[in-house]
Structure formats: structure tokens, C-alpha cells
Structure 1
Amino acid sequence: MNNKHTIHQAILQKKQDNRENDKSPGLSWWQLSLIGIGSIIGAGFFLGTGLSIHTAGPAILIDYLLAGITAFIVFSALAEMTVRDPAQGSFRTYAKKAFGNSMGFISGWMYWLSGVFIMSSEAVALGTFTQYWFPHVPLWIFTIVYVAIAFGINLLGVKNFGKIESTFAMIKLSTLVVFILLGIILVMHFISPHHVTLEGFTGFHPFFSTGINGMWSALIFAFFSFGGIEVIGIASSELKNKSDVPKAGIGMLIALVSVYILSIFFILYMVSWTRINEEQSPFVLALNLFDIPYIGTVFNLIIISAAFSTMVGALFSVTNIMVSLADDGDAPKTFGKKNQKGTAYKALLVTGLALALSLILSFLLPGKIYEYITTAAGVLMILNWVTILLSQIKLRKAAKEKSKTFKMPGSPYTSLLGIGLILIAVSGGMFHSTQRMGVVISLGLIGIIFLSYHLILKKRHS
């Protein structure tokens, strides 16, 4: 029996080595970093930052720093588990190994459900932004076109998907970098535009202008800006070299934290935070000071690219999670089938049907109700980070090997710190009416998923 087990392990290791040494398929670490960036920086950052600045004032910079630290902690936990035990289902597989079948089921369906609603909101946003040029064309036509293109990209296979998503990520990063460079030029007084009053610093103090409660209630918005970092773990199965996961994630997070904090800092430098609200993008408000030609059209294109790449990345992630659920018997087995390009076309199809249903709801339900649902989707994604951190704590204790693989620094204390920051952010959302309803709905959805497992699948796994 031991000889058979040893031979089986050797075969599995040989297959793993072959996959890692194969240079034709798979993603490079920098492609994985860009996929993460493309999936995370969405239209919400370019548009929704106004609400967070209005809520917290200049202290929003601290919120983004705390969110970045938390995202790094969560990624470190995920990277440790991924390098030690590469798995198709990523975080949901680790939740299952740590806490049993029910947690794997709950974590996977939480992520899938939140991903569907996030894609739906991005699709509606894409249609709305495109109507800027074609106001007489019905919104649903643009929405369908963008969804169809996103599905087409995912059907192309991992290699082509990686190239396309990397291109979109570069567009978004370049936009923020150019904005930051403009801010540096202004700070260094390399240019002094005529008829432009940089009023930001006149309204910059006191730093905690809306008090600790304002900073606390805006913290969840900063966390939403990092939602989707799980894609690094999910897509890591497509890496040429699995040991590059930490490199890819650290590169992604350094880029994200840098561009987020610096771009918001320069917004506050150019425009008084008291003039910023949720009605207009703070980026547009800042750039309008300089009378840049066609700024509305240019920024609209940037927002469309941001929303579209987020939708494409989310579709890739939730489809792969569906495959993992199918492989473990937590979804119909047929959803795990893949074609020659490595695309799980049946999982993609069922995700498409769910997305279609979500889009129908977006057109039928009152706007405020649908806003509650999409907010709940963001909360579900952030709450899933708690599962990742708890899984890391449990699996680190269970790990017996003394290998020199990537280890999460400061564990388990850093994991506990991350959990604490997540709970603080979610509780801060209770100050805002929309976020409060989102938190309540997200907890209700988790309850439904939990009951579904115990009513439908518990006997099958026992």
C-alpha cells in the first residue's frame, strides 16, 4: 500500500514539474500581477472615490493605507497556502481543508454570487457610460454587447485572456500614473497654469475634518477598492511557475496602494475636499481646472476600459470557482468540463444565465433596491477575506513540513490583525444607510447559502 502511495505521489509530482517547466502555456508572474490589477481597479474607484472623500475628508488617505495593509495580509495568507498546496479552487479549497465541506461550500458560493452581482453592476455602468455618446440607444443594447464581448474573451482561453486583461490593466495604470505625474509637476512648480487656483491645501486641515466616525464609515469604501485580490489565487493555477505567486501578488499590491494613495493625495491637493461629492468623479473635477480639451470623452473611455476589464476578470474568477465547486460535488459535475482551450464552457454558460437574471433585476427593481444588492456583493467579497485568514491560521498549525516555501510574516498575529480590520470596516458601513442595508443583505445571503448546504448537500458529503 505504501509503495503504491509513493508511486502515485511521484507521478503527481512529475506532472506538476512538467506543467511548471512547460514554457508554451500558462501565465508569467507579471501577467498575473496585471490580471489582478485589471480585475481590481474598476469604474468604482474613478467614480465612487468622491463619496468616500466626502465622507472621510482628507483622512480617507489613512483609510486607503489601512485597506492596503489588510489586502497585503489577506494576500500573504493566500500566497502561503497556494505555494504550499496549489489547488484549482484556491481559497475555497483551503477553507474546506481547514474547516470541512460546509465552509468550502459557503466560501465558494459567496464568491460566485458576489462576482455575478459585481459583473452585473459593471455591465450596467458600461451601458450608461456608452450612452454619453449615443443617448438615444437603449441601455440594454449596450449592456448585452459588452457582456457578449466579455464572454468571447473568456472563451479564447487563458493565454489570450491574459494578454487582453494585461492590456486593459496597463491602460488603467497609465491613466493614474499620468495623473500622479501631473500632480508632482504642480507640487514642484514646474508649471504654474494661469487662471488655476489650487485650493486643496486651504481646505486640507484639520486632517480629521469629519471626525473618527467619518473616517470609520468611509473605511469600507476603501476596502471595496481592493475587492477581487482573490483572483491572484484563482489564476495562480495557470502560472508557469507556482512559486511566483508571492512575486505576482506583491507587485500587484505595491502598484495598487501607490496609485490609489498618490492619486487621491493629488486630488486633495488640487481641489478642496469640501467641493467633492458623489455626483461627479473627483478626477474630472480636478482635471477640469486645466481646461483640458475633450476631457469628458477621454475620461469616459478610461472608465469604460476600467469597468470592462473588471467584468472580464470577475467572469474568469467566478467561472473557475464554479469548476472547483463542481469538482467537489458542491455543484453539478457537468459544470467542471473544459474544452481544448481550457475553458469551462458549461460553468461559463451557467454563470452567464445568472448574470442575465441579475441584469433583468437591475432593470426591473427600483434603483435603490438594486444598489443595496450590489453593495451586499461587495460586503460578501470582503467577508470572504475572513475565511481566507482563518483558513491560514488553521492550516499553518496543521502543516508539518519545514520547507523554505513562502511563509506569511507575523502569523498568526497578522491574520488576527487582518480579521480585526475587516470587521472594523464592515461595522463602519453601518453608519451609512446604503452600506447598512448591504451588510444586512449580505448576512442574509450567507444564511441562505448555509441553509442550502445543510438541506441539500450535507447528507451527500457525510
Structure 2
Amino acid sequence: MDARVVAEKSQPESHLKAGLKSRHLTMMSIAGVIGGSLFVGSGSVIHSAGPAAVLAFLTGGILMMLIMRMLGEMATASPDTGSFSTYADRAIGRWAGFTIGWLYWGYWVALMAWEAYVAGKILNGWFPAVSVNAFVLGTTLLLISINFFNVKNYGEFEFWFALIKVIAIVCFLTVSCLAVLNIWQVGEVSGISNLTAHGFVPNGIEPVVGAMLGVMFAFLGAEIATIAASESKNPSQQIIKTTKSVVWRVGLFYVGSIFLIVCLVPWNDPMLGQSGYGSYRRTLELLGVPGAEWLMNFVVLTSVSSCLISAHYTASRMLFSLASRGDAPACFKLTKADSGVPVYAIIGSCVVAVVMALINFSDTLRPRDVLDTLMNMTGTIALLVYLVIACSQLKMRRKLEASGRDIPLKMWLYPWLTWAVIVFIVVCLGAMSFMPDYQVLVISTGGAGVCLALLGVFHQMRCSRRAQRMSGTVGVGTRG
């Protein structure tokens, strides 16, 4: 008997409540993946990889589309707030669910710190008399307070924040398309000359491969809709809708906008290399759009606020799921009776995020270029998460088919595409581990993953021994 089964007999169950509406999940699926990393982080990606950065975004988009299809297949068969962590537990083993759950939780906590710092920098630019750290702390505490109430409040805030992001990026795409077609001729640039004028792959293929870390940092978050769907009515239907909309979202918002940027802005523009400057802002400046800096700062502030709330929501739900499975302290699975909110999981995630934000981004301790460092570190985590999702889907599909259960949404060309994704991720991580600019981040993040896996194996063995003792199966009742 599993230790979790024994624990369930002695402790009351805790459940989340369905409070998210269809329009909440629809807007999350459309704009949830659009974060500050797209507006802020894409500039450094373009500056290092050149116009070929569009290939990195295209490759990352295809990878994310395939991963979402795999995740959608598993989630429609069994919606769960633990999402792929739960599926890894069932398909690979408890240690795998433990490892990827804690790694994913750490990713979102780190992302909260990143988003809070970006928001603090913007607000400090508007109100320089107040320190960045004061804004970081104030922004974090203000925005995470939303998740202490009914989940529909999170859905409502995310709906309106996402709507602002969608309107902003549609306006950007419209103006940029007009400039590429030589219809908008107000600013300094038009047409597509910058796509090849300074070389399409000016620095070789290595920076393009390395750019995958920044790209994956930008893409990770699309899976939030599959986690949030467990707190809505008809979760399987919502997951199918979200998964099928991934293709046009990635093609339009990410690949499309980056393609327009590399057409209009020289890749070696020194402003793109400035940390936190932003490729979108630079594009609007060259197009002669008035108030480009203020407009993009407002959009980025909205985006990072949206992502901070989502990151806190996702981290708290993953911690709740880990606790529900016995892989985290039991207090984190307790929920408020009236709202079904996992209050202790929310508090735990918030405390760690605030500490990370104030320590990592202090003037004395933060790295010289903290945004790019954190972006690449979490990009490595994204690739590891995707690898586990692919391995889980490979095994869970066999179990679902063997059980004869209906599979509402199936992965294309199974198992060949799944194996192709696994090989691609392994090759990318292997190649990056030999690149001087990325090997420290890849190896250190991979080392953290290995340590968590070993801890997970130890945890699984300890729980198995405890379950055997509690069930009395070891040497009991075997004598006649």
C-alpha cells in the first residue's frame, strides 16, 4: 500500500473549488504566454543571435506546440492541478513527480522575483525618489494579495491584464506590418532590408542554439491553462480548446512579432544589447511612434504584473499538489473552507519569492546582468520540464491504451514525434553544456535537478518502507 493511501485515511481531504469561467481560461490561453520576457528579454536574444533569432523562436514555438499537445493528451484524460508533475508521478515514478514538481515550483518563485524586479525598475524610473527594492517589495505584496481570495478574482485580474497585452501586441503588429510594406514611413526604418543587410547568422550557429534558453524562458507558461482548468467547469473541454489554439498564438504573437522586429531593427543596434531596454520599444522608437518609451513601459508593467500574479498562482497550486501527494509538508494542502484557496501554499510561495527578490536584486549581491542570467537559468528549467513531459506522455499513452480508456486528444504521430522531441531536447542541453557562455548555467541547473532526483528517490524509498510498516504486510500473518 502506498504511503499516500495510508495518509488519506488519517487526514481530511482538501479540495480546490471551481471558480474560473470560460472567458478567463480563454484569455489565459491567448495571452497567458505573453510576458515581460517577450518585451524585455527578446532584445538580448536578437543582439546575440542576429536575425536568425527568429529561427530560435520558431524552433521553440514548434517545440512548445508539441509539448502542449502531449500535455493536453494527458490532461484531458485526467485533469489535475499538479498537471505534468502528477503525470510524471503516475507514468515514471514518485521520484519523478517529486523532482519536476519542486523544480517547477522553484522556476515560478524565481520568475516572481524577476517580474517584481522589472516592475520595480519601471516604477523607479517614474518615481526615482523611491528605491527599487521598495517598489519590488510593494509590488510583490500588492499583487500576490489577489490570490488570497476566491480563484475567480485571479481569473478576473488576469482577464483584463491579458486583454491589455493582446491589444498592445496587435497594435504593434499592425504598425510594424505597415512599415515592412513601406506604407508607414514616419520613422527611420521601413521594408525588410535589416533581415539580411548585416548578415542573417552574423555570429555563427552557436549563439542561435544558445538563444534557445532565452526563448524557452519566454515560452514556458503556456501550460498554466491546463493547471487552471482543474478549477473550472468542464476542464477537459477547456484544455482541448487551449491546446488547439497554441499554433496561431505562437505563430502570431511570438514568431510573427520577432520576424517584424529583425526586419526593421539592425541586429547590432547597441540599444538592443542593453539589459532591460526591450526590442519592442526600440522598434517603436525607430518607427517614430510618439511616447514609445512610456507606452512600452506601461505595457511591460502590465505584463509583468500579470505574470507575477500567474506565477504566484501556479507556484501555490504546484505546492498544493505536492502536499496533497505527500511530497511537501501537509500544511500546504489546507484550504479555506469558504473559497477553497490553499492559503498556506500561497504564503509559502510568497515568502520565498520576496526573499529571492530582495537578496538577488540588491545593489551589493545581484549579478552584473541579472535579467539575462535569471532568464537563461529558468530557460534551462523549461527544457528539463519539457523533457519530463515528453517522457511521461510516452509511458502514460501506453497505460491509457492498455486500460482501454478513451483519449479525447491524441499526440500526433505517436511515438515518433515524442521521441523526436526527447532527442532534440537532450541534444540541445548537451550542446549548451559545452558552450562557454551557457555551460555554467546548464550544468548548475542540471546538477540541481540531479540532486532533487536523488532526494526524490530517497523520499520514495522512505515512504514505501513507512507504508509497509503501517499496512502490516511485512512478516505479519504469514505463519499458519
The answer as to 2:196 corresponding to 1:204 is yes
List per-residue Cα deviations over 1:335-357 (Å, max 9, x = no partner).
11111212100101111121122
Aligned residue type for 1:48: G
Structure 2 partner of 1:11: none
**1:138: how far off?**
1.2
Structure 1 partner of 2:13: none
Structure 1 partner of 2:21: 27
5+ residue gaps in structure 2?
1-15, 466-480
From the superposition, tell whether residues 142 and 240 of structure 1 become closer, same or farther in structure 2 (CA, over 3 Å).
Answer: same
Structure 1 partner of 2:462: 459
Q: SS in structure 1 opposite 2:327?
A: coil
The answer as to 2:42 corresponding to 1:53 is no
Structure 2 partner of 1:14: none
From the superposition, tell whether residues 404 and 455 of structure 1 become closer, same or farther in structure 2 (CA, over 3 Å).
Answer: closer
Contact 1:393 / 1:412 at 8 angstroms: preserved in 2? Answer: yes
**1:61: how far off?**
1.5
Q: Give the distance between the partners of 1:373 and 1:444, measured in 2 at CA.
A: 16
Compare 366-375 and 217-226 and name the one that shifted more. 366-375
Q: SS in structure 2 opposite 1:408?
A: coil
Q: Give the distance between the partners of 1:315 and 1:257, measured in 2 at CA.
A: 27
Q: Equivalent residues in 2 for 1:259-338 (5 A)?
A: 259-275=253-269, 277-279=272-274, 280-338=277-335
**1:417: how far off?**
1.7
From the superposition, tell whether residues 198 and 122 of structure 1 become closer, same or farther in structure 2 (CA, over 3 Å).
Answer: same
Q: TM-score, normalised by structure 1?
A: 0.88
List per-residue Cα deviations over 1:84-119 (Å, max 9, x = no partner).
112231111110111111111111101111111111
Compare 170-179 and 352-361 and name the one that shifted more. 352-361
Structure 1 partner of 2:241: 247
**1:237: how far off?**
0.3
Structure 2 partner of 1:375: 376
Q: Give the distance between the partners of 2:128 and 2:78, measured in 1 at CA.
A: 51
The answer as to 2:100 corresponding to 1:107 is yes
From the superposition, tell whether residues 444 and 378 of structure 1 become closer, same or farther in structure 2 (CA, over 3 Å).
Answer: same
From the superposition, tell whether residues 207 and 112 of structure 1 become closer, same or farther in structure 2 (CA, over 3 Å).
Answer: same
**1:449: how far off?**
1.6
List per-residue Cα deviations over 1:120-143 (Å, max 9, x = no partner).
111111101111111121112111
List per-residue Cα deviations over 1:175-231 (Å, max 9, x = no partner).
1111111122223343432x6343751552543333322322222222221112221
Q: Give the distance between the partners of 1:37 and 1:154, measured in 2 at CA.
A: 21
Aligned residue type for 1:334: C
- Partner residue of 1:410 out of 399, 408, 413: 413
Compare 429-438 and 291-300 and name the one that shifted more. 429-438
Structure 2 partner of 1:387: 388
Structure 2 partner of 1:175: 168
From the superposition, tell whether residues 454 and 268 of structure 1 become closer, same or farther in structure 2 (CA, over 3 Å).
Answer: closer
Contact 1:204 / 1:272 at 8 angstroms: preserved in 2? Answer: no
From the superposition, tell whether residues 189 and 320 of structure 1 become closer, same or farther in structure 2 (CA, over 3 Å).
Answer: same
Aligned residue type for 1:217: G
Q: Give the distance between the partners of 2:76 and 2:63, measured in 1 at CA.
A: 20
Structure 2 partner of 1:360: 358
From the superposition, tell whether residues 374 and 265 of structure 1 become closer, same or farther in structure 2 (CA, over 3 Å).
Answer: closer
Aligned residue type for 1:229: A
Structure 1 partner of 2:142: 149
List per-residue Cα deviations over 1:304-324 (Å, max 9, x = no partner).
111111111111111111111
**1:272: how far off?**
2.0
Contact 1:94 / 1:391 at 8 angstroms: preserved in 2? Answer: yes
Q: Give the distance between the partners of 1:126 and 1:282, measured in 2 at CA.
A: 17
The answer as to 2:88 corresponding to 1:95 is yes
Structure 1 partner of 2:9: none
Contact 1:216 / 1:425 at 8 angstroms: preserved in 2? Answer: yes
Contact 2:94 / 2:460 at 8 angstroms: preserved in 1? Answer: no
Aligned residue type for 1:242: P
Q: Give the distance between the partners of 1:113 and 1:436, measured in 2 at CA.
A: 20
Contact 1:63 / 1:222 at 8 angstroms: preserved in 2? Answer: yes
Contact 1:63 / 1:215 at 8 angstroms: preserved in 2? Answer: yes
| Higher helix content, 1 or 2 | 1
Structure 2 partner of 1:423: 426
Q: SS in structure 2 opposite 1:331?
A: coil
Contact 1:373 / 1:438 at 8 angstroms: preserved in 2? Answer: no
Aligned residue type for 1:444: G
Q: Give the distance between the partners of 1:285 and 1:412, measured in 2 at CA.
A: 43
From the superposition, tell whether residues 236 and 270 of structure 1 become closer, same or farther in structure 2 (CA, over 3 Å).
Answer: same
Structure 2 partner of 1:9: none
Aligned residue type for 1:396: R
From the superposition, tell whether residues 149 and 327 of structure 1 become closer, same or farther in structure 2 (CA, over 3 Å).
Answer: same
Structure 2 partner of 1:349: 347
Compare 62-71 and 435-444 and name the one that shifted more. 435-444
From the superposition, tell whether residues 356 and 282 of structure 1 become closer, same or farther in structure 2 (CA, over 3 Å).
Answer: closer
From the superposition, tell whether residues 166 and 354 of structure 1 become closer, same or farther in structure 2 (CA, over 3 Å).
Answer: same
Structure 1 partner of 2:12: none
**1:287: how far off?**
1.2
**1:70: how far off?**
0.5
List per-residue Cα deviations over 1:237-280 (Å, max 9, x = no partner).
02321232121133245223311122112212222223253213
Q: Give the distance between the partners of 1:419 and 1:425, measured in 2 at CA.
A: 10
Q: Give the distance between the partners of 1:328 and 1:439, measured in 2 at CA.
A: 29
List per-residue Cα deviations over 1:365-384 (Å, max 9, x = no partner).
23249664563233113211
Q: TM-score, normalised by structure 2?
A: 0.85
**1:38: how far off?**
4.6
Structure 1 partner of 2:6: none
Q: Give the distance between the partners of 2:451 and 2:434, measured in 1 at CA.
A: 25
Structure 1 partner of 2:111: 118
